[in-house]
A and B are shown apart, each in its own frame.
Chain A
Amino acid sequence: MITKKTFRSLLILGAALSFGLPARAADEVKLLNVSYDPTRELYQEFNASFAKHWKEKTGQTVTVNQSHGGSGKQARAVIDGLQADVVTLALAYDVDALFQKAALIPQNWQSRLPHNSAPYTSTIVFLVRKGNPKGIKDWDDLAKPGVAVITPNPKTSGGARWNYLAAWGYALQKNGGDEAKAREFVTRLFKNVPVLDSGARGSTVTFVERGIGDVFISWENEALLVVNQLGKGGFEIVGPSVSILAEPPVTVVDKFAAKHGTRAVAQAYLEYLYTEVGQEIAAKNYYRPRLESVAAKHVKQFPTVKLFTIGEVFGGWQKAQQTHFADDGVFDQIYKP
């Protein structure tokens, strides 16, 4: 039961949040974390944990504000002046854009933190309706006629680009590296896509709530969230024979952090992701942890899938982006709505 007094203090808190009280005490600090779509639950929990940790360590109260959306769209907003202290996006290319388009971070940003600045990983799996009525087992089944496939738009969504590359990588491996055959396969697959949402979360709602589609190519973490919490009992995960190792990277946005004087706390925020506590929270929210000790504890919740990296198959994000997702790239050529 909320009393009148707490209601009033909530009101004041809301007002303070919306305006950013000008007379802010020195022992208070604010961070803005601009993130991609499915990390909402992860950072909600992580922010609370970090705030507690930081308070104990320094006595300073830290408030982390969140913004979520399709990874490419979010990067664009930061480039246009959304003053993020840290970004936690879906893929390295979107973070690269902060250097290339606006020089907000140094070129070597990815080597500043361990594991290519990706504190947790994920992969791409299939989410199907209960009982798997269309008998989806592997990538080939997605390109069959009569199967409706849900995936977000690779132009705006990071997850969708991982989806696309995972499919392409599978087809390459199956056909001994034949690019033409891979292209033909992915073309057929996208013929089965009735609607492209702009972000992963939009696609999840399309598949889970609106009931559209037979199979949803999804982030593993998002699929586990649906199966274990949101649509309990209504859905199943199918792990394909091979998939891509998705590494969602994080970085301090140097220019804005310097401007806000938040460099140290922003750095500590990201490093906390690599600690046992941070890794545990990541695992709890269905991201694959990097830390062996934590990974071992949660190994059972993740389907076993053979993983390849984007470096091995596509020569890194810059190259993959240029070939596949740039204007008039392969995706534009094969996807005709």
Chain B
Amino acid sequence: MTGHVTHATPSVERSERSATAETPLVRWLLIGVALAFLGLFLVVPLAAVFVEAFSKGAAAYFAAIREPMAMAAIRLTLIAAFSAVVLNTVFGLVAAWAIAKFDFIGKSVLITLIDLPFSVSPVVSGLIYVLLFGMQGLFGPWLVEHDIKIIFATPGIILATTFVTFPFVARELIPLMESQGHEEEEAAISLGASGWQTFWRVTLPNVKWGLLYGLILCNARAMGEFGAVSVVSGHVRGQTNTIPLHVEILYNEYQFAAAFAVASLLALLTLVTLGVKTLIEWKARQEATSPV
């Protein structure tokens, strides 16, 4: 997202030439190693998912995805990911805005806290919610009394998903907003704009590509989350299984083709994410270089 350097000074150019003047052998070797590594660790597994998924033919593939339990899992995953994305967008914007545009006591503590979900194991983050909302937990008795289900139901899955994807949007926005400073906002306000107007017309348009980028990452992680969701799910088929959990169940029931068929949805998501990400980066660069 940085503006790219187009011209180097002549002196740098000379040193650049000598830096890349390796023998063709070394160059091809390095490129070959990088490509082999990528192929082995990224392309082969991805291809294997699809090969395995279609091992019993296209009919079996689509049957596995249309099966009611799979549809329920897909539905739940979409609900959980959508909720997490909405919640984290609101939170991420607010937090990034507060951190980047204002100075206050405890700012560094807030930044550390935002990063917390990255450093906590997902299983532990799931257990936190069991300890809080489980029947033996802190709020458990009260929840049971009022017949509110959180753990082993959709709200718990949304909570766990939101927690593990917490930092994505905020982390993307904070450096961007910080680098932009607050001159434009100050100008808007001195010209008579209200707080909301400043936000909608100045701040948001400035960060929209960064925000989108954060959303995409948040969404991808939310849909693929396994550990935290596994702890709070209860594994009831058709009710509290997300796509990753459904894949595990199918795999454990020796339905390998079906397991990989459903897993291929997540693999497709990866490809879509990659595509959208590239598009956003390209758009943002285009906007940055084109005169406004």
Residue of B nearest to A44 (CB): B253
**Given A67-B237, A81-B140, CB of A14 within 8 Å of CB of B68:** yes
Tell me the A residues contacting B by CB distance below 8 Å: 1-2, 7, 10-11, 13-15, 17-20, 32, 37, 40-41, 65-69, 77, 79-83, 101-102, 201-202, 205, 209, 230, 259
Q: What are 13 contact pairs spanning A and B, CB under 8 A?
A: A11-B71, A14-B238, A17-B69, A18-B75, A32-B236, A65-B237, A65-B238, A65-B239, A67-B237, A77-B152, A80-B137, A81-B144, A83-B152
Bitwise interface map of B from 58 to 84 toward A, beta carbon under 8 Å scored 1, else 0: 010011001111111011100000000
With A7-B66, A14-B75, A18-B72 as given contacts, are A80 and B236 in contact (CB-CB < 8 Å)? no
Count A-B pairs with CB separation below 8 Å. Answer: 94
A106 to chain B, nearest CB (A): 18
Instruction: Check if A102 sits within 8 Å of B136, measured CB to CB.
Output: yes
A-B contacts besides A80-B151, A82-B236, 5 pairs, CB < 8 Å: A14-B68, A17-B68, A79-B135, A80-B136, A80-B152
**Bound: A65/B66 CA distance, A:** 19
Q: Are A10 and B71 in contact (CB under 8 A)?
A: yes
Q: Does B210 contact A (CB under 8 A)?
A: no
Question: Nearest 10 A-B pairs (CB), nearest first?
Answer: A14-B71, A81-B135, A80-B134, A17-B238, A82-B234, A18-B72, A14-B72, A82-B152, A67-B235, A14-B68
> Is A201 in contact with B75, judged by CB distance below 8 angstroms?
no
Asked if B149 is an interface residue, CB under 8 A from chain A, the answer is yes
Interface contact B66-A2, CB-CB below 8 Å: yes
Closest to B79 in A: A18
**Does B28 sit within 8 A of A, measured CB to CB?**
no
Contact B72–A2 (Cβ < 8 Å): no
Closest chain A residue, CB of each to CB of B71: A14
Contact-size category for B: 35 or more
Chain B neighbourhood of A65, CB < 8 A = 236-239
What is the bound-complex CA distance between A101 and B62, given in angstroms?
Answer: 44
How many angstroms between the C-alpha atoms of A336 and B137 in the bound complex? 32
CB distance from B210 to the nearest CB of A (A): 34
When chains A and B are docked, how far (Å) is the Cα of A20 from the Cα of B63?
A: 23
Query: What chain A residues lie within 8 Å of B76 (beta carbons)?
Result: 18
Contact of B234 among A11, A17, A41, A77 (CB under 8 A): A77
| A88 to B: closest C-beta gap in Å | 14
Cα separation A203 to B238 with both chains bound (whole Å): 25
B residues adjacent to A (C-beta < 8 A): 59, 62-63, 66-72, 74-76, 130, 133-137, 140, 144, 147, 149, 151-152, 154, 234-239, 249, 251-254
CA distance A152 to B252 in the complex (A): 14
CB pair B135 A102 closer than 8 Å: yes
- Is the beta-carbon distance between B252 and A13 smaller than 8 angstroms? no
Chain A residue contacts of B59, Cβ below 8 A: 1
* CB proximity of A65 to chain B, nearest CB, Å: 5
Residues in A with CB closer than 8 Å to B130 are 80
The distance from the CB of A261 to the nearest CB of chain B, in whole angstroms, is 13
Chain A residue nearest to B74 in the complex (CB): A14
Bound-state CA distance A2–B133 (Å) is: 42
Whether A15 pairs with B136 at a CB distance below 8 angstroms is no
Residues of A within 8 A of B238 (CB): 14, 17-18, 65
The verdict on A205 contacting B136 (CB below 8 Å), with A17-B68, A67-B234 known, is no
- Report chain A residues within 8 Å CB of B70: 14
- How many Å lie between the Cα of A310 and that of B73 in the bound state? 40
* Docked complex Cα distance between A137 and B267 (Å): 45
Given contacts A17-B72, A82-B234, contact A201 B252 (CB under 8 A): yes
Return chain B residues, CB-CB under 8 Å to A259.
147
Give A68's nearest chain B residue, CB to CB.
B235
Residues of B within 8 A of A81 (CB): 133-136, 140, 144, 149, 151-152
- CB-CB under 8 A from A102, the residues of chain B are 135-136
| A67 / chain B contacts, CB cutoff of 8 Å | 234-237
